[in-house]
Amino acid sequence: MSEDNVIVSLQSVGKVYEEGQVKVRAVDELSLDIHKGDFAALSGPSGSGKTTVLNLIGGLDVPSSGRVLLEGHDLAAMSRSQLSAMRRDRIGFVFQAYNLIAVMTAYENAEFVLKLQGVPERECRARVMKVLEEVGLAGLEQRRPDAMSGGQQQRVAIARAIVTRPAIVLADEPTANVDSATAEALLDLMQTLNRDEGVTFLFSTHDPRVMRRARRLIRLRDGALEQDEVRA
């Protein structure tokens, strides 16, 4: 693929954590590009660096060495306000624990980032209603998280992640806390968004169902790239 299609570029990235007197290398000289339209899964055993890689791409952590570029911008070179704006506007996050705001309705959770962006009220409402319908939550806009199933809460999280039209959605174990039928339905939804809306997804996962669905499987071991398989 051309460089124009590269959304994320990890260039010889290393990440070392200090735990007391011990240094732990979570990511080891990792070079990897994620392209527009990817439906990609980061897999590997526990401790292989999957979540750390997502945190580095999402600007939630900084590399000890190397560079992480998002749409050509070096995240480590950004000011705190620039990085915050980049996360707000260009990255969608889906967490295994949903991370919804408990006192807000589904509608309010989905519109929250649009409000931070200063999107006008009429456009905000149109986009939120459209995305809630896309994720199968039409009619449930006024429900709060505690009145929703785990699968419904994850659908709200997906709606919140995509409503801003981000460059990439980072999903950390998005099927971990739901049953098998719900997991398959969520994967159907994300595949549809990828295919029909062009949403780029990068998952970290242990789930064989996610790995089977991924069109690109990136396997890590001890923080290093073990396999990068692109499927038809």
Global pTM reads 0.92
**Domain 37-60+79-230 indexed as CATH 3.40.640.10:** no
Stretches where the chain sits below pLDDT 70 are 1-3, 232
Per-residue confidence (pLDDT) for residue 19, from 0 to 100: 83
Rounded to a whole number of angstroms, the CA Rg of the chain reads 17
> What single string gives the DSSP state of each residue in 154-208?
HHHHHHHHHTT--SEEEEESTTTTS-HHHHHHHHHHHHHHHHHH---EEEE---H
Per-residue confidence (pLDDT) for residue 2, from 0 to 100: 53
Per-residue confidence (pLDDT) for residue 60, from 0 to 100: 93
User: pLDDT tens-digit profile of 116-128?
Assistant: 999 999 999 999 9
Using an 8 Å Cβ cutoff, are 151 and 135 in contact? no
The 3-state DSSP class for residue 177 equals: coil
Per-residue confidence (pLDDT) for residue 3, from 0 to 100: 65
User: pLDDT tens-digit profile of 32-68?
Assistant: 999 999 999 999 999 999 999 999 999 999 999 999 9
Per-residue confidence (pLDDT) for residue 178, from 0 to 100: 86
Using an 8 Å Cβ cutoff, are 225 and 72 in contact? no
